[in-house]
Amino acid sequence: MPSYAAPRAFHIMAKPSGSACNLHCDYCFFLKKEKLYPGSHFRMSDEVHEAYIKQLFEAHQVPQVTIAWQGGEPTLMGLDFFKRSMDLQKKYQKPGTRIENTFQTNGILLNDEWCRFFHEKNFLIGLSTDGQKELHDAYRKDKGSHGTFDRVVWATRLPHEHGERIRPLISRSLAEVR
């Protein structure tokens, strides 16, 4: 019987807001997930949050732990959730371990307060876009069916005002793939 060796490191994307999002993109398969969990508010509880951070740090056997926050839209959790996460990370961090937090967002809810926090805590920000304005606005819409390109472009400038690192992630729409 083969022996099993646990991985020394691994990568998990945390989705604390589940499939909840402030947009209504035409191609998003997450929007349909809400129907699978009637009555759910799609929010990671404090208990699950702490258990996730604790277990993540315990399981890593390397000097760097990356915590990748995604969604739905993770900004829907509110800034206090991520401030609490910083406290939990400090609580469970092993001596000599470096921590990297990454954050994938559509950018719509970014403001000065979020960006100051990201800068102070050295987050790496990924901003989801669908390319040029015409393509982006055709698929990536808000709940009122309006394109979001101009708001996303504004969001790309805001973190730079706070010295933040930002990586625009160009998402390919399903229409492009066909």
The CATH number for 24's domain is 3.20.20.70
Q: Residues, the chain, total?
A: 178
Indicate whether 169 belongs to any domain: yes
Q: What is the pTM of this model?
A: 0.84
CB 59 within 8 A of CB 15: no
Indicate whether 134 belongs to any domain: yes
Residue 165 backbone dihedrals phi, psi, to 5 degrees: -85, 135
- Domain hosting 68: range is 13-177
Residue 168 has pLDDT above 60, yes or no: no
Indicate whether 112 belongs to any domain: yes
Indicate whether 24 belongs to any domain: yes
Domains in the chain, number? 1
Give the per-residue pLDDT at 169: 45
Indicate whether 6 belongs to any domain: no
Indicate whether 4 belongs to any domain: no
Residue 82 has pLDDT above 70, yes or no: yes
What is the radius of gyration, based on Cα positions, of the chain?
18
Average pLDDT of every residue of the chain: 84
Give which of 82, 77, 75, 116 is closest to 101, Cα–Cα: 82
Indicate whether 8 belongs to any domain: no
